[in-house]
Structure 1
Amino acid sequence: MDSAIEKHCSELVARERSGHTALIERNVLYVWGGYVSIADDEVFLPNDEIWLYDLERGVWEMCRMSGEVPPPMSGTCGCSLNGDMYIFGGCDDNSQTNQLYCVNLLDGKYTWRKVSHKSGSPPSPRDKLSCWVFNDRLIYFGGYGHKQLDDINNNRSFLMDEASWMDDIYWGWNNEVHMFDPTSASWSEPHTSGCAPDPRAAHASATLCHKGYVCGGRIRETRTSDIYCLDLESWTWSEIVPASNVPVGRSWHTLTAISDSGLFLFGGLSIDCKPMSDGWVFDVGTKKWREFEHPYMNKPRLWHTACQGKDSDVIVFGGSCNYILLVDTGHCNDALVFQIQPYPLFRICEDYIAKNVKNCKMLEKQLPFVPPKLLPAVQKRISFFQTTKKI
């Protein structure tokens, strides 16, 4: 059997992984890349396949990819723009990279193309960075990677890792902001002002309106829970000082937009290298954190992905439940659905019918009388709950 395919309860499911890329388009979760631990080795997962999880039916599908396929990688930065998935950077068998690739998720062909630039210069090779999408442009921040000594301008934008260097090449963390415009195929480095965050990697970020938010991450040997905002119109940084208790410092966590003023933080690796399972909601208006109760407190995750789904759900997939620098770490392949906001009435009714139709003869008899425009949605939800009960 293909090492990347697992049969579980007669259903096809994506293999467990960490450091992968995941996006949601039209209520389908797309998963690419990442790695698993096998014995003493870290093994990249196949680069010529993409996994699709139908969030309405709860069914996985694997599709082959073609074209200018990127190398197998982890730690890439993925984002979605107009139905295209872009990945930048990451770490392959040779080291960090600074290549940009694109694939259309909606045409059903899944043909990769390597994106060339006509002007400007791409960021230096790096992984564990983050991205904001604004005004049809891709804006990248931070990460861990390498530069030649002549390219290190100052210690404020690049923090050298004193334990990692070779000849005139140095590894370290950065707080650079780079922008790619797909229309003009151009790279640029906007001049920012204000109070910028320290250089970091394995942080989390999210976009709200015209602002990009950064939370936590690793800065040398420490992990933080600070939060910064970059105005993507004026290019002005500002530090946000929370008006309430804050989560503990962490890296390899996620931050997901859930409303016009809300951000959801989940998981990560704490300052004392403890895998986390706590969830927090940050209100950018009041500048207050509040801890969020959820049913997955026994499922810590780090280096997972989190995407905003239907009705402000947050879909967390994969990641590790252990400290990933240990051998044979416990990678995961389940999708955790966090209900952050109250559901609309239709969603409540739809889910109630889907959960109970097989145990209630009255509901089962009345199902054919559901209006034709609504019946397909209800049938998909029935399929979803039947499938997830098996797994």
Structure 2
Amino acid sequence: MLGNVVSVGPSIFEVGGEERGLTPPRGPEQAEGSEGPGAVAGVAREARSLLPARRFSAPGGQWRFMRPKLLPVLEPGAVPQRATWYTLVPLGESPSARVGHNCLYLPPAPTAGKGQVVIVGGADPNGSFSDAHIIDLDRHQWAMPGWVGLLPRYEHATFIPTSSPTSLWVFGGADQSGNRNCVQVLNLETGIWESPKVIGTQPLPRTFHTSSAAIGDRLYVLGGGDKGAEPVKDPQLHMFDTATLTWSQPEVHGNPPSPRHGHVVVAVGTKLFIHGGLSGDTFYNDLFCIDTNDMRWEKLPAAGDVPGGRAAHSAAAFGDHLYIFGGMDPTGALDTMYKYHIENQQWTLLEFDSPLPPGRLDHSMCIVPWQVCVSVKNRDSEAVTSRNTIGKEATETVSDEGDSDQKKQIGKGCTEDKLMYLFLIFGGMDTQGEIHRDCIVNLIK
């Protein structure tokens, strides 16, 4: 018998009870591009839609809101070490524990501050959210903007068009009543969400959890969740143009990814990369690419530390690499991070010197700039004045790649700012009924 179940949407997410076994049973041979047995009924039964997707229960019928693992705290202006996970603890009240939200970086106006991180929507066992939360990177502080009009949703897509940086768009997702296929737009200057009238053939309602699937002014939609562990039966690529408020289905060539949900979609230049996902009992580990210039699908070869099949993970692109973190596979929630060299088509498992954060799925990740104060000593190194996690001022030497060797002498001030970049991850859950509200970061190598 399963524990207490709370419905928060159209599909099923079951954790706990007597059918919780995480060891996948034997089954038919795996599908091409998948990882592990073709029938992973243990996990598929336990996480029938992966995501908070939609029914929650926990061992004994109790949900547990996860206390953050003891990672070092990255203070404002401190120099992050390589291969180290940190907790970010802005002042103020952080968002409640949640899953299925989106996280993205809002750049500042030219020459004005460090920008903001915004968390949009999400869900917990009590329902889905219509709120938003902001980290003001100048003040290192949480804030809750007075934005109004967002329809509650989780596992939706968010993006900011290139030509309209003062607007924030959302598509799809779900709430208690079912999946959505509507589009809403926020005017960041007025704080009002609107539901514009669109033209063209809209995609079927679906969950489509991403904040990295837009190129220029266009959002690209492929696959997504229908009910339970099943994806929408829709192989088409959909394109939404914010300039014309038009949906279209461009003609594509080649073989697209098989129907799936819980996959990641990452835009790099004119290309879209699609990795992983789930369909029924099958977890995928394949990687596809489509160049929007010629609309031709390509299944990419992979070498190196190829990650196993997973779904409900997060992804981002930086430089020559794609990065993925977390998610779930037949064994449960994952805490690993990989990078993929786009040109060399090579996967690398990232190793960390610090403890790893709790494994999680249905979280959200974005890339944020991180300023530290530096005093240039010579062309090869920079003396960096910062504060370590216990508040003592120290001077560190930082190379152009971001390495730092802490020195014992006391810093005497700084002459300029050095910009580094961090992966920032918020929230998510595991397969044991624990839901997170922590904010964790690591330095991009």
Same fold (TM over 0.5): yes
How many angstroms apart in 2 are the aligned matches of 1:193 and 1:247? 27
TM-score by length of 2: 0.63
How many angstroms apart in 1 are the aligned matches of 2:90 and 2:422? 26
How many angstroms apart in 2 are the aligned matches of 1:9 and 1:257? 25
**Aligned residue number for residue 255 of structure 1:** 315
CA contact (8 A) 2:100 2:209 kept: no
How many angstroms apart in 2 are the aligned matches of 1:71 and 1:297? 35
| 1:22 matched to 2:99 | no
How many angstroms apart in 2 are the aligned matches of 1:198 and 1:298? 32
Read off the aligned partner of 2:147 and give its amino acid letter: M
How many angstroms apart in 2 are the aligned matches of 1:10 and 1:137? 35
- Map 1:118-137 → 2, pairs under 5 A: 119-130=199-210, 132-137=213-218
| 1:139 matched to 2:197 | no
Structure 1 residue 184: Cα displacement: 1.4
**Aligned residue number for residue 155 of structure 1:** none
Q: Which has the higher strand share?
A: 1
Read off the aligned partner of 1:180 and give its amino acid letter: F
How many angstroms apart in 2 are the aligned matches of 1:205 and 1:74? 17
How many angstroms apart in 2 are the aligned matches of 1:129 and 1:175? 17
**Aligned residue number for residue 438 of structure 2:** 334
| 1:312 matched to 2:421 | yes
Structure 1 residue 55: Cα displacement: 3.1
Structure 1 residue 173: Cα displacement: 4.6
What SS is found at the alignment partner of 1:24? strand
CA contact (8 A) 1:144 1:174 kept: no
Q: Which has the higher contact order (CA 8 A, sep 6+)?
A: 2
**Aligned residue number for residue 182 of structure 1:** 242
**Aligned residue number for residue 25 of structure 2:** none
Cα–Cα, structure 1 residues 55 and 293, in superposed 2: closer, same or farther, change >3 Å? farther
Structure 1 residue 296: Cα displacement: 5.3
How many angstroms apart in 2 are the aligned matches of 1:244 and 1:76? 32
| 1:283 matched to 2:283 | no
| 1:99 matched to 2:157 | no
Give the alignment partner of residue 36 of structure 1, picking from 90, 109, 124: 124
Give the alignment partner of residue 133 of structure 2, picking from 51, 63, 83: 51
**Aligned residue number for residue 77 of structure 1:** 157
CA contact (8 A) 1:103 1:111 kept: yes
Cα–Cα, structure 1 residues 253 and 173, in superposed 2: closer, same or farther, change >3 Å? farther
How many angstroms apart in 1 are the aligned matches of 2:143 and 2:272? 33
Structure 1 residue 209: Cα displacement: 1.0
**Aligned residue number for residue 245 of structure 1:** 305
What SS is found at the alignment partner of 2:174? coil
How many angstroms apart in 2 are the aligned matches of 1:306 and 1:179? 23
Cα–Cα, structure 1 residues 298 and 317, in superposed 2: closer, same or farther, change >3 Å? closer
**Aligned residue number for residue 197 of structure 2:** 116
Structure 1 residue 54: Cα displacement: 2.0
Deviations 1:114-139 (A, max 9, x none): 0211x311101111354622232111
Consecutive aligned runs of 4 or more in structure 1 exceeding 4 Å deviation? none
Read off the aligned partner of 1:339 and give its amino acid letter: L
What SS is found at the alignment partner of 1:312? strand
Deviations 1:285-310 (A, max 9, x none): 11001011234514212100111211
CA contact (8 A) 1:17 1:35 kept: yes
Read off the aligned partner of 2:180 and give its amino acid letter: T
How many angstroms apart in 2 are the aligned matches of 1:258 and 1:43? 34
Structure 1 residue 10: Cα displacement: 7.5
What SS is found at the alignment partner of 2:303? coil
- Map 1:151-190 → 2, pairs under 5 A: 172-190=232-250
CA contact (8 A) 2:180 2:206 kept: yes
Cα–Cα, structure 1 residues 179 and 172, in superposed 2: closer, same or farther, change >3 Å? closer
How many angstroms apart in 1 are the aligned matches of 2:355 and 2:195? 38
How many angstroms apart in 2 are the aligned matches of 1:50 and 1:205? 23
- CA RMSD in angstroms comes to 2.1
**Aligned residue number for residue 199 of structure 1:** 259
How many angstroms apart in 2 are the aligned matches of 1:214 and 1:110? 32
What SS is found at the alignment partner of 1:336? strand
What SS is found at the alignment partner of 1:127? coil
| Number of residues of Structure 1 aligned to a counterpart in Structure 2 | 295
How many angstroms apart in 2 are the aligned matches of 1:99 and 1:290? 38
Cα–Cα, structure 1 residues 291 and 10, in superposed 2: closer, same or farther, change >3 Å? closer
How many angstroms apart in 2 are the aligned matches of 1:237 and 1:129? 21
Read off the aligned partner of 2:443 and give its amino acid letter: Q
CA contact (8 A) 2:223 2:232 kept: no
